[in-house]
Structure 1
Amino acid sequence: MRSTSNPAFRNLPRDASAHGQYGPNVGFEQPYGAPQGQGGVPGYGPGRPGTASADRPMTVDDVVIKTGLSLAVALVTGVLTAIWAQSQLVVDGAGRVSGMNGALLGALIGGLLVGLVSSLVIIFRRKPSGPLTLVYAGAEGVFLGALSGLFELFLPGIALQALIGTAGVFIAMLVVYKTGAVKVTPKLTKWIIGAVAGVAILMLVNLLTAVFFGFNPLRDGSPLSIVFSLVVIGIAAFSFLLDFDQADRMIRAGMPSQWAWYAAFGLMTTLVWLYLEILRLLSYLRE
């Protein structure tokens, strides 16, 4: 399979026989010929009669519905948690925030850990799971909602701005992909993967220097941190192209419809990353 910056798509099965035989289908772009075996996604032959509905070939509608459902879960849990979070802050006599209740801290840490564990299980179990994908979406909704609630208290309206920005970037990159304005080539794929790896290394180094030396140049609100956030947002945006391309290849290869949950999970991870980075950038600019 063609490489991707999103770990959700790296462990897709390479053995076509594991899922039966399917004919080519239509993906995000039209029209397609018979693309069996192209792009590293397993190819499938003529369909077999009597296949269960769960094993029917995956379609664009499957990806849209699963992604929409996952996004709805994240949004609902996020909004409810954000509203609740603002009531969990400790305010002193002067009306200043002096801390947070343990429940809010638990929501932040719990949402982060549950999201991390569920994502690792999805990535390494090599099998799609609707319930696990929804658990991941809900956990990330709780984590981002709690974080957004904190930001909202000090910077009113920032969460909505970040949400609109995330939606705008997603729609823009979908249009770019569908119109073919930017083609997902092996060269572009390698560039994005390298950029993601580079950003991850920089973030890790920055975290270590912040913990051990109190030096946090990439996350302290300085001009350098603003530039860094803009670069990360750009990389996250281009990562959507790889997510769309991988989902497209899964569809064209005729993978079973249940794998739409895997595509939905891949898109959700990029959406979560993008929202978090836009929220961070807006906080720098508004401060």
Structure 2
Amino acid sequence: MASPVFSSGKEFQPNARFEQMNQPVSADQLQAQFDLPSATPEQTNRMTYEGVVSKTAIIAVGAFIAAVPGYLIPNVLAMYASALVAFVVSLVIIFRKKNSPALIAIYAVTEGYFLGALTTFIETRFEVPGAGLQALVATFATFAVVLALYRSGKVRYTSKMRRFLMISGLAYLVFSLFNLGYMIFGSSGSAWGLRTDVMVGPVPLGVVIGIAAVLIACVSLIADFDFIDNAVKNGAPKEIEWKAAFGLILTLVWLYIEFLRIIAILFGRR
């Protein structure tokens, strides 16, 4: 499914309206506005694509810096604690009406540490050195390709894509919960449960599920771009850029984890 930040935010819908666009303007005021020189986005205090890109980069860099100590000095307890904090903070950001760059900074730091520690755990536990770098390159390469396709106009978020995201996202969630129950209550000795206990021909089920999840995440990225496009065209306030950037980061984190897991299952030791 699309990032919950966008699907739950009214400001990203196609017909969103904002206060600064609905104020009554007299004929004299309108003429005065026409006589003024063209205003920059900063002067109009409206959301821009450049603003979303810069804020996405800030969050990504912050998460990367926080990932360094997690990667170099991992701690299992701290890894789980940071994952829990990041999850709770992300829920607050998603459902909070007002934007909070401070909360997003907390999310970036905790999520970054978690990803760094998780990467070290997978590289050492399954003996796949370099898996983190491979997953990182795959994530940003996928992001760049999907963005290029969207900007070219060859790919657009349609009603069919929306239905696909809803159905496939729900199916993936059901599988993940079922697999978690299988790992807890079943007799599997695998760290991945059904993902490695079941084979689809010569390939573990986890690789097939992982590729499907990456495709779902790619469609989710297209939806994210479309929602951002709506907000910019509708003249959303500039502070919405933070929420849009956060929504993109959520999808990129999901992509990274999926790539990391695929690499571990394919090339790592069970």
- In which range does the TM-score fall when normalised by the shorter chain? 0.7 to 0.9
Identity of aligned residues (%): 34
**TM-score relative to the length of structure 2:** 0.83
| Amino acid across the alignment from 1:164 | V
- In structure 1, give the amino acid aligned to 2:50: D
RMSD: 2.5
- Tell me the residue number matched to 1:121: 92
Q: Is the 8 A contact 2:194 2:206 kept in 1?
A: yes
Pairwise CA distance, 1:193: 2.4
Contact 1:54-1:257 within 8 A present in 2 as well: no
Task: Mark the runs of 5 or more structure 1 residues left unpaired by the alignment.
Answer: 15-36, 86-103
Helix, strand or coil at the partner of 2:14: helix
Structure 2 residue runs without a partner (length 5+):
26-32, 34-41
Query: In structure 1, which of residues 76, 79, 84 is the aligned counterpart of residue 65 of structure 2?
Result: 76
1:105 aligns with 2:76: yes
Q: Could you tell me how far 1:127 is from its partner in structure 2?
A: 2.0
- CA separation of 1:252 and 1:220: change in aligned 2, threshold 3 A: farther
What SS does the aligned partner of 2:71 have?
A: helix
Question: Could you tell me which of 262, 266, 269 is aligned with 1:281?
Answer: 262
1:40 has 2:11 as partner: no
Match of residue 30 from structure 2: none
8 Å CA contact 2:89, 2:103 repeated in 1: yes
- Tell me: CA distance 1:231–1:13, structure 2 relative to 1, closer, same or farther (3 Å): closer
**TM-score when scaled to structure 1?**
0.78
Checking the alignment, whether the CA contact within 8 Å between 1:166 and 1:275 is kept in structure 2 is: yes
Give secondary structure in 1 for the equivalent of 2:239.
helix
Question: Partner of 1:22 in structure 2?
Answer: none
Shift of 1:12: 1.9
Q: CA offset at residue 6 of structure 1?
A: 1.3
Matched, 1:133 2:104: yes
- The residue correspondences of 1:1-287 to structure 2 (distance < 5 A) are 5-13=2-10, 39-42=14-17, 45=21, 56-85=45-74, 104-153=75-124, 154-215=127-188, 216-218=193-195, 220=197, 222=199, 223-287=204-268
Distance 1:118-1:221 versus aligned 2 partners, 3 A rule = farther
The one-letter amino acid paired with 1:140 is: E
- Tell me how far apart the structure 2 counterparts of residues 38 and 10 of structure 1 sit (CA, whole Å): 8
Structure 1: how far apart are the matches of 2:43 and 2:78?
35
Determine if contact 2:156/2:226 at 8 Å carries over to the other structure. Answer: no
